[in-house]
Amino acid sequence: MENLKTFEKGADFTAKTLAGLENILAGELEALGAASVETGNRVVFFRGDKTLMYKANYLCRTALRILKPIGVFRVKSEQELYEKVKRIDWPSLFDVNKTFVVSASVFHSSLTNSLYAALKTKDAIADQFREKLGKRPYVSKENAQIHIDVHISQEECTISLDSSGESLHKRGYRVSVDKAPLNEVLAAGMIKLSGWKMDGDFIDPMCGSGTIPIEAAMLAMKIPAGYYRKNYSFEHWNDFEPVLFEKIKEEASGEICEYDHPIIASDRSYKAFGIARSNMRNAGLDKDIMLLNKPFEKVNPESGKGVLIFNPPYGLRLEEDELIELYKHIGDVLKNHFQGYEAWIITGNLEVAKFIGLRPSRKIILYNGPLESRFIKFEMYRGSKKAKKNNPSA
């Protein structure tokens, strides 16, 4: 039997992330003790044991899901896929009473239809259970306990157990959202990419539902990424060790600490303010984040240094003229109120971003959903930039 140790890429696990965050996630995994860490396009391959897999799910802020490959084989047709999936010993992995779901992605392959590949895989698993145990597990599209990932590229097929289940960006603290909320993994990744030093104010002056300041507070207070989340798919595997997972959670909770500098969130919309407030309360962070219902120009810096990270509206809902005025206004407020601060803005509208009128010192390509965006840094020196160059401590 072709039994199905994968590790062709030298990896026990594949962590998925958003484009542009691969190196950040690699750093998070290395800090947890992962070995042979290698980045790819929106993925990080790594080696480790079960403890590391639990930790990666619970602690990595920039992982979307952690896959455990269980079989790699060559495949040229749907029938061959069916036969080879059937060679994996499925009842050894999960109980027949669990519900399961299969998702497939197919690239450059003689198999062209990913839905059909998922269906064939599902049939092979169900048929094997029926043949071995006389009954089969049920499929659940919405709330499956076991998640199976099929990845076919050219003729190589990798079958993985998805240890996370629901995407890890679903942290569990959001009770509601306003317009265009950021993905939590993107927000955490932006904060990490900014190199936030945690030694001054942290300000999101257009906080919407509050995703960026909540992720900042979680990072600063060492609140685990999975602290508010209830479910991981690996808890339904036959080899789940609840005591080990509890121990990991307890140790991580023991690290939670106070944070001494201000984290300020504001939005001019009263509706957004209310939504951010309920999310912050739900996360138990309403005392740790100073939440204001003010327009940007009324947000006062507290300590005279720090960072602003925000995502202004960028056009889907505003008229072009209105948008240009907003971005000019952002530039003016940064220049006049926030000298000594760094500002990072994510926007999907590069044309309009030019109207900020400040020279960016970095631009990083990120994707906000499907929309290619730029994460742009501005440094607001005290006095002129020339003075700063002549006297770097100014």
> Nearest approach, Cβ of 297 to ligand SAM (angstroms)?
7
- Tell me the CA distances in angstroms from 293 to 12, 56, 274, one per residue in order: 47, 36, 9
Whether 334 contacts 358, CB under 8 Å:
yes
Place of tokens 């001019």: 268
State which residue has the least CB distance to ligand SAM: 208
Q: Is 180 in the site for ligand SAM (CB under 6 A)?
A: yes
Contacts (CB under 6 A) with ligand SAM, residues 264-303? 267-269, 272, 295-296
Q: Which member of 75, 111, 206, 366 binds ligand SAM (CB under 6 A)? A: 206
Give the interface size with ligand SAM as a residue count (CB under 6 A).
Answer: 22
> Nearest approach, Cβ of 188 to ligand SAM (angstroms)?
12
Q: Which of 226, 380, 194 is nearest to 304 (CA)?
A: 380
Q: Is 348 in the site for ligand SAM (CB under 6 A)?
A: no
Structure tokens at 389: 């160059």
Q: Is 188 in the site for ligand SAM (CB under 6 A)?
A: no
Contacts (CB under 6 A) with ligand SAM, residues 15-74? none
Whether 353 contacts 317, CB under 8 Å:
no
Q: Which is nearer to ligand SAM, 30 or 325 (CB)?
A: 325
Q: Which is nearer to ligand SAM, 224 or 312 (CB)?
A: 312
> Nearest approach, Cβ of 194 to ligand SAM (angstroms)?
14
User: Pattern 122-161, binding to ligand SAM, x per CB under 6 A?
Assistant: ----------------------------------------
Place of tokens 């750093």: 27
Question: Looking at the DSSP assignment, which residues form a beta bridge with residue 156?
Answer: 74, 153
Binding window for ligand SAM (CB under 6 A); candidates: 34-42, 81-89, 123-131, 175-183: 175-183
Q: Is 182 in the site for ligand SAM (CB under 6 A)?
A: yes
SS3 115: helix
Q: Which is nearer to ligand SAM, 43 or 346 (CB)?
A: 346
Whether 188 contacts 219, CB under 8 Å:
yes
Q: Which of 369, 378, 290 is nearest to 332 (CA)?
A: 378
Q: Which is nearer to ligand SAM, 22 or 267 (CB)?
A: 267
User: Pattern 95-124, binding to ligand SAM, x per CB under 6 A?
Assistant: ------------------------------
Contacts (CB under 6 A) with ligand SAM, residues 308-327? 311-313, 326
Whether 368 contacts 346, CB under 8 Å:
yes
Place of tokens 């691969």: 22
What does the alpha-carbon distance between residue 145 and residue 143 come to, in Å, rounded to a whole number? 6
> Nearest approach, Cβ of 100 to ligand SAM (angstroms)?
32
> Nearest approach, Cβ of 65 to ligand SAM (angstroms)?
21
Q: Which of 333, 340, 393, 375 is nearest to 358 (CA)?
A: 333
Q: Is 211 in the site for ligand SAM (CB under 6 A)?
A: yes
Whether 299 contacts 329, CB under 8 Å:
no
Q: Which is nearer to ligand SAM, 126 or 207 (CB)?
A: 207
What does the alpha-carbon distance between residue 50 and residue 141 come to, in Å, rounded to a whole number? 27
Q: Which is nearer to ligand SAM, 262 or 295 (CB)?
A: 295
Q: Which of 31, 61, 315 is nearest to 187 (CA)?
A: 61
Q: Which member of 48, 208, 306, 348 binds ligand SAM (CB under 6 A)? A: 208
SS3 68: strand
> Nearest approach, Cβ of 198 to ligand SAM (angstroms)?
20
> Nearest approach, Cβ of 282 to ligand SAM (angstroms)?
14
Q: What is the largest CA-CA distance in the chain?
A: 80
Contacts of residue 127, Cβ cutoff 8 Å, sequence gap at least 6: 86, 136
Whether 85 contacts 121, CB under 8 Å:
yes
Binding stretches for ligand SAM (CB under 6 A) = 178-182, 205-209, 211-212, 267-269, 272, 295-296, 311-313, 326
